[in-house]
Amino acid sequence: LRADHILLLWLIILSLIFQFVCVGGSPNRMKAFAQFMHKELGLEGDAKDMSDICAGTDRYSMYKVGPVLSISHGMGVPSISIMLHELIKLLHHAKCCDVTIIRIGTSGGLGIEPGSVVITDIAVDSFFKPQFEQVILDNVVVRSTELDQDLANELLKCSREIEDFPTLIGHTMCTDDFYEGQGRLDGALCSFSNEKKLEYLKRAYDAGVRNIEMESTVFAAMCRLCGLKAAVVCVTLLDRLEGDQITASHEVLVEYQRRPQQLISMFIKKHLGLWNQTELLDKELV
């Protein structure tokens, strides 16, 4: 297909009553989320046959599940920034209104139990400042990274109905690097001691940071500027105050990664008026 044909196809698909856009780093995880939502929404057909709308490109994967769009964005600020620019333009041209966009993913925790789900209130940079610095031409433009507080509180309220895992609201620190940028000692390069690392991470904790990842600042800044209701919901795979490497088993990590999906599924079903219906159906089956 020509580029203009692909754009037209996207516009047609996106205009079909999209209310929720969920984004995450891994293509496989976002496909799994799409299949999970297919089941949760009780849609017809086999979720295994779900096709990637962007299969003809290597940029990112995209799946349509009823009123939900599930998209991968890769790792880091540059990668998610590209996806967001193109996604937001498509939502605009498709005349989608009142869209809620949520980033779901994994992160390193700070002073909280592994497997905890953190709902971000403010994304901060490596200096614990609630801002995103964008270099435009030869100017540094500073943008706010505050997220929708009403949405964060609504998600927290939803989480109270899930007893399987702890959920909290806190600051999320976004870094430019996974290793030195996050104070890790196990990378190819390391220019600081364990004592310096812990001193930095404890200062981050005291500043309100509860988890660390690599996309939240640009996500928050762009969504805020474009008037989109946005949230970041990430599970923590370890407590960085206790170490740098993940020690949980593969099975445990897979279960951890499902936790944000469970919360977002409940949130979406509540908004669609499906949550009580699902509860009644479950009781009838029992």
| Amino acid making up residue 83 | M
Annotated binding site: 59, 103-106, 182, 184
Annotated binding site for phosphate: 59, 103-106
Decide: helix, strand or coil at residue 248: coil
CA 265 to each of CA 14, 101, 110, 143: distance values in angstroms, whole numbers, following the listed order: 20, 13, 26, 30
Structure-token match 């994304």, residue found: 123
- Tens of each residue's pLDDT in the chain, 286 residues: 556 666 666 655 555 567 899 999 999 999 999 999 999 999 888 877 788 888 777 778 899 998 999 999 999 999 999 999 999 998 888 788 889 999 999 999 999 999 999 999 999 999 999 999 999 999 999 999 999 999 999 999 999 998 889 999 999 999 999 999 999 999 999 999 999 999 999 999 999 999 999 999 999 999 999 999 999 999 999 999 999 999 999 999 999 999 999 999 999 999 988 766 544 344 443 3
Spatial CB neighbours of 174, under 8 Å, sequence gap ≥ 6: 77, 123, 124, 125, 126, 132, 212, 213, 214, 215, 216, 217, 218
Write down the pTM of the prediction. 0.88
- Nearest C-alpha neighbor of 108 from the set 5, 258, 239: 239
Decide: helix, strand or coil at residue 167: strand
> Exposed, middle or buried, 250 (CB in 10 Å: 0-12/13-18/19+)?
exposed
Tokens (6 digits) for 21: 């856009």
> Exposed, middle or buried, 283 (CB in 10 Å: 0-12/13-18/19+)?
exposed
pLDDT at 264: 97
Tokens (6 digits) for 116: 């905890």
pLDDT at 2: 59
User: Which pLDDT tens digit goes with each residue over 173-226?
Assistant: 999 999 999 999 999 999 999 999 999 999 999 999 999 999 999 999 999 999
pLDDT at 55: 77
Spatial CB neighbours of 118, under 8 Å, sequence gap ≥ 6: 107, 109, 112, 167, 168, 169, 170, 172, 210, 211, 233, 234, 235, 236
Q: What is 3-285's CATH number, 1.20.210.10, 3.40.50.2000, 3.90.180.10, 3.40.50.1580?
A: 3.40.50.1580
Annotated binding site for substrate: 182, 184
State the SS3 of 90-155: HHHHCCCCCCEEEEEEEEEECCCCCCCEEEEEEEECCCCCCEEEEEECCEEEEEECECCHHHHHHH
**φ, ψ at 94 (rounded to 5°):** -80, 0
| Amino acid making up residue 237 | L
